Amino acid sequence: MSIASYSDLVTAVTEWLARDQDTTLIARIPDFITLCEAKLNRELRHRLMEKRATALVNMANTEPQFISLPLDFQSMRRLRCTSVSGSPTINFFSNVQADEYRTRIGDVAGQPRHFTIIGTELELIPTPDTAYTLEMVYRANLSGLTSTNTTNWLMSFAPDVYLYGTLMEATPYIQKDDRIAIWGAGFTQALSSLNTLATEQSFGSGPLVMRST
């Protein structure tokens, strides 16, 4: 059978586990899929995890320097101020660097030059002096599979990663099983080859060459 959707994955995992009569195990499969996705969000590195989003500085807010991050945000790839000529890059500051900047410069409003991440918010530094439009390119968590969200890019691109990863997350439940080593090797190989392919697609398959400027 092909594995192209959430229900296909549940069916495939049920068949591969070969425990059709274990209703408790079958009921746990959605949990195994969720655990697999949590691991993939930490270990998978692929260009299709990157998204673009537009953020607006709202000067009507009492703290316009804070902007809520997308719900699926994981890490920032790039941030630019697109409402300014040349769309200058806004560079990352650690929280320590941000505090040092405020101590040194003070809270003088101006065009944002830096940003830091605090919880689920983006903080611009210095505090914006007017409304700005920002473009962020960020690494996003997977859109988790459910009975209503039946597929995503990874399911379409690499169903083997989902299958072996979900089977591996079932191993603490099934405990001793000779197939565990096979599933683990399958998951490791599938994930490694997917990460390698993503690197080649982003940078090319040839060696990196340093050039003087």
Along the 213 residues of the chain, how does pLDDT read in single tens digits?
689 999 999 999 999 998 777 888 899 999 999 999 999 999 999 989 999 999 999 999 999 999 999 999 999 999 999 999 999 999 999 999 998 988 888 878 999 999 999 999 999 999 999 999 999 999 999 999 999 999 999 999 999 999 999 999 998 888 877 888 899 999 999 999 998 886 666 555 455 555 555
Q: What is the pLDDT of residue 112?
A: 94
SS3 sequence of 67-132? EECCCCEEEEEEEEECCCCCCCECEECCHHHHHHHHHHHCCCCECCCEEEEECCEEEEECCECCCC
Residues 6+ apart with CB under 8 A from 199: 45
Q: Is 87 left (phi over 0), alpha (psi -120 to 50) or beta?
A: left
- Distance of alpha carbon 148 from alpha carbon 133, whole angstroms: 34
Closest CA to 33 of 142, 181, 187, 145: 145
| Tokens (6 digits) for 157 | 């691109």
Q: Is 108 left (phi over 0), alpha (psi -120 to 50) or beta?
A: beta
Burial class (CB in 10 A: 0-12, 13-18, 19+), 27: exposed
Q: What is the pLDDT of residue 205?
A: 47
Residue by residue, DSSP assigns 160-176 as HHHHHHHHHHTHHHH-S
Closest CA to 90 of 101, 78, 102: 78
Q: What is the pLDDT of residue 175?
A: 80
Q: What is the pLDDT of residue 176?
A: 73
Up-side HSE of residue 54: CA atoms within 13 Å toward CB?
7
Q: What is the pLDDT of residue 203?
A: 52
| 179: DSSP letter | T
Q: What is the pLDDT of residue 148?
A: 97
Q: What is the pLDDT of residue 180?
A: 87
By DSSP bridging, strand 91-92 and strand 114-118 are parallel
| Tokens (6 digits) for 12 | 């495939």
Q: What is the pLDDT of residue 108?
A: 87
Question: In sequence order, what E strands does 20-85 have?
Answer: 50-56, 66-68, 73-81
